[in-house]
Amino acid sequence: MTKIHNHVTSYRLEGISFGLADGLIMSLGLIIGVAEATTDPRLVMIAGVIGGFANAFGNSIGFYMSQSAERGLQILEIVEHGATTNVHSKTEIYMNSAFAFLCSVAVSIALLIPFVLLNMTIAIIVAFVLGVLIAFTLGSYVGRISRENSWLCGLKYAVIAFLGAIISHLIADILVAF
C-alpha cells in the first residue's frame, strides 16, 4: 500500500498571493472605471465593496475547487503510478481559500479608503498609485521567494496593474459616451 504524505509547510502563501493579485487587479480596474464614469464617491465605494466581496467569494471558491482537484490528481499519481509528490492537505486547502478571500477583501478596502478621506480627483490618483505600489511590492516579494529578479518581477506586476486600470478607465470613457 502506498503511503500518502501531506505537505503543510506554511501553506506556501498561495492563497495570500492569489487573493492579493486577483483582488488588486479586479478592484483597481473596477474602482478606476467607476470613478471615471461618475462624480459620486459613494457610487465608487458601493461598487468597490460589492465588487470586492463578490470577487473575494469567487476567488476563495475557485481556489478551493482548484486545489481540491489538484489534490485528487496528486493522490491518483501516488496510488496509480507510485509517484513521489506533495499532496495538498485539507487544512492547507481550507487555509489557502480563507486567505484568498481575506486578502481580496483587504486589498479592495485599501483601494477604497482614499474615496472616504479625499476629494474624488485626488482619491482616484491615490488609489491608482496605491494599487500600482501594492502590485510592485507583491511582485517583488514573489520574485524574491522564487529566486528571480525581484525588481523585474515587481515591475511586471506593476505594469499589469497599470494596464488594468488604464483599460478600465478607457472602457468607462467609451460607456459614458453612449
Residue 12's pLDDT band (cuts 50, 70, 90): low
pLDDT at 85 over 80: no
| Whole-angstrom distance, CA of residue 150 vs CA of residue 138 | 10
Cell 478592484 sits on residue = 27
Least confident among 16-20, 73-77, 141-145: 73-77
| 3-class secondary structure, 86 | coil
pLDDT at 9 over 80: no
Average pLDDT, rounded, for the chain: 90
Output phi, psi for 38, to 5 deg: -140, 165
State the pTM of this model. Answer: 0.85
Mean pLDDT over 89-100 rounds to: 91
The residues facing 90 across adjacent strands are: none
What would the grid cell of residue 20 be? 492579493
Q: How far apart are the first and last CA of the chain?
A: 66
| Whole-angstrom distance, CA of residue 37 vs CA of residue 171 | 9
Mean pLDDT over 168-177 rounds to: 92
> For helices 14-37 and 90-117, what crossing angle results, to 10°?
30
Output phi, psi for 48, to 5 deg: -65, -45
pLDDT at 156: 97
pLDDT in tens, 25-64: 999 999 999 999 999 999 999 999 999 999 999 999 998 9
Q: Give 86 or 94, the one with higher predicted confidence.
A: 94
pLDDT in tens, 129-142: 999 999 999 999 99
Per DSSP, 39 falls in state S
The residues facing 87 across adjacent strands are: 6
pLDDT at 109 over 80: yes
CA 50 to chain centre: 16
| Whole-angstrom distance, CA of residue 31 vs CA of residue 36 | 8
pLDDT at 108 over 90: yes
Burial class (CB in 10 A: 0-12, 13-18, 19+), 100: buried
Q: Give 85 or 58, the one with higher predicted confidence.
A: 58
Mean pLDDT over 99-117 rounds to: 97
| Whole-angstrom distance, CA of residue 50 vs CA of residue 45 | 8
